[in-house]
Structure 1
């Protein structure tokens, strides 16, 4: 039995073909605030626990978009072999706790790696794993996964051609700026932000992203000024 925020449906697994129970989140959730990297804080509920759908029969896991999409034959064969050889399993539960959510993301990452998914998709999964830990106020684990997301996004920028799905290279640079800021590397953060706010075309093609980059830049400058003031006061 699901809770007041979720409901259970059955969908065919794109790998093994069997109907599997999955938990879906009801659309009307109240957002309390949104972080600079677009992580949403919801009241009384964490929908990120349910972002990944997982087959209770073969263990295939992916976000909803990719789970409900028909897989190419070669990917289905690769994943079926991959999951069988590793005896992967995922126990269905209508109400996920932290271990269930973490396990679902790890499975989704393994499955994406098995079919050589774009680095940008792996980075997105990794970023959301850091959100899981952020919302649970587990700082060390959040930073660990944020650093993994940085590595994947930077490799993606260097090797992949954008746009990829709905993601642009400018969006990736902005996410990298937010992540570098969170892990305490302001130099790299400023490097990416300066590329965005000095891009004359960005304001015309994506005004929201340009505004977000400007706001983060201003917030960082304000924080730095306050830190310098506090340090000077302390010296006195």
Structure 2
């Protein structure tokens, strides 16, 4: 318990909707060891209760507006009215600024996804929220809900690629990286032919890229997706 408390710190936030000032927890960088990383970048830590994604979403205790650092800084008056009608008027004050369980983090992400839809956030922002929520369900071994939000994530990432807004949700997201990620998410939701296509695009583009790690992963996952596609077709025939 002491290790957890020392790894967490309070960050002061100002609500993008009602401008209420509140504190929320963050995890200190480098305070926990990574033990595993899945092909879609889902990261496991030695102490999973200190996984930083548990604390990515800020929830205003006063009005219920949930947001991340990637959300639009200022809401326009028509959007503020919509948030007031659809979120704040129905909100019962609740505090998410303390230590969070995975289940509490799930609630925070669902609130943020709804808020992102209402406020018209970039596709990449909505994609990142959906993907991280899928990871939380993976941690809970809830395959049905994980797959549900992987479907949402891959749809938003495709739209993000089409509209070229992928750097708004993640500054490290390059064109090669998003093509690879779409391919991997397609593979995980069993859309194997589309997965192979996106991996191929990543590899083609990667000829001019210095991201050798991503290209190596794309080659591996391209082969895996092809094998899974063949197996699926054989099962249909059988």
Bin for the TM-score computed over the shorter chain: 0.7 to 0.9
What CA deviation, in whole Å up to 9, does each residue of 1:195-218 have, x standing for no partner?
Answer: 2212364434x3333232123224
Q: Rate the CA distance shift 1:59–1:138 in 2: closer, same or farther, 3 A.
A: same
Query: Which structure's CA Rg is the greater one?
Result: 1
Aligned residue for 1:6? 8
Aligned residue for 1:199? 205
Deviates more, 1:81-90 or 1:100-109: 81-90
| TM-score normalised by length of structure 1 | 0.80
Runs (5+) with no aligned partner, structure 2 = none
1:174 to 170, 177, 180: 180
- Please list, as runs of the form range in 1=range in 2, the aligned pairs for 1:57-76 lying within 5 A after superposition: 57-66=62-71, 70-74=73-77, 76=80
1:32 to 32, 35, 40: 35
1:23 aligns with 2:28: no
Number of aligned positions between the proteins: 225
1:134 to 124, 133, 138: 138
2:161 to 157, 164, 169: 157
Q: Is the 8 A contact 2:26 2:55 kept in 1?
A: yes
Q: What is the alpha-carbon distance in structure 1 between the residues aligned to residue 184 and residue 92 of structure 2?
A: 34
Q: Is the 8 A contact 1:34 1:41 kept in 2?
A: yes
Q: RMSD of the alignment, in Å?
A: 3.1
Q: Is the 8 A contact 2:65 2:87 kept in 1?
A: yes
Q: Rate the CA distance shift 1:176–1:163 in 2: closer, same or farther, 3 A.
A: closer
SS of 1:199's partner is helix
